[in-house]
């Protein structure tokens, strides 16, 4: 979890209240489902170890009282250069050995690192923003197989060799494997409603920028 806070006197009007913004994981908070669609008002955070951990993170970041404007950004898989999810994927995909994880049918909520930073900045700077924001790209119907194909295309490599679920469970353990093998369709309904403009709303452009 990351947390940012900017303060000013509590007696000021709401537009100048102190502000606190924190970031957690949407892929851990919302329960995996092949059909459900989750927005910022959807329930979650109470079905396994990681979802309960996210709930505790958010509770720890919350300040008591109403004198502070607070925002929680629940991020998807963050795509950026120099590490993170892409850092672990690049070598096999560059070698032409990449492909979908498990069935590949699971949803894959993602966001470009530039947009995650942009949403955090937007939350700090726009006084009307408060509550939970889903930090995911608007292309919420992306599946893991579609992500693998798009990454292969960005690298100019084939991406059809699947990573079996049994291997994923052996490497990552059962609880972490669930996050990879069972996705969620997460939509940034409130994020868009606040007026945030995405720099990378489409997966292809986001991946081309990351691997360039």
Q: What is the pTM of this model?
A: 0.86
Pairing of strands 37-38, 2-6: unpaired
Give 170's pLDDT tier (boundaries 50, 70, 90). confident
Contact of 159 with 149, CB cutoff 8 Å = yes
Contact of 138 with 163, CB cutoff 8 Å = no
- Report how far apart, in Å, the C-alpha atoms of 177 and of each of 26, 44, 165 are: 16, 19, 8
How do residues 18-65 score in pLDDT, each as one tens digit?
566 777 777 789 999 999 999 999 999 888 888 888 999 888 888 887
Does the pLDDT of residue 3 top 90, yes or no? Answer: no
């Amino acid at each position: 979890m990351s947390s940012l806070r900017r303060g000013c006197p509590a007696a000021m009007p709401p537009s100048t209240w102190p502000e606190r913004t924190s970031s957690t994981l949407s892929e851990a908070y919302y329960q995996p489902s092949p059909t459900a669609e989750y927005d910022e008002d959807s329930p979650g955070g109470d079905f396994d170890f990681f979802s309960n951990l996210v709930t505790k993170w958010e509770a720890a970041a919350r300040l008591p009282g109403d004198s502070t404007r607070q925002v929680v950004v629940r991020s998807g898989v963050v795509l950026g250069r120099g590490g993170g999810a892409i850092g672990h994927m690049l070598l096999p995909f560059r070698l032409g050995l990449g492909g979908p994880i498990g069935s590949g049918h699971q949803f894959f909520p993602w966001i470009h690192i530039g947009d995650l930073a942009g949403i955090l900045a937007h939350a700090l700077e726009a006084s009307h923003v408060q509550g939970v924001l889903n930090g995911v790209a608007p292309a919420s119907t992306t599946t893991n197989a579609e992500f693998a194909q798009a990454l292969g295309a960005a690298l100019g490599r084939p991406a059809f060799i699947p990573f079996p679920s049994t291997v994923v469970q052996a490497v990552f353990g059962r609880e972490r494997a669930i996050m990879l093998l069972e996705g969620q369709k997460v939509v940034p309904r409130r994020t868009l409603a606040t007026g945030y403009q995405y720099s990378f709303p489409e997966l292809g452009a986001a991946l081309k920028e990351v691997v360039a």
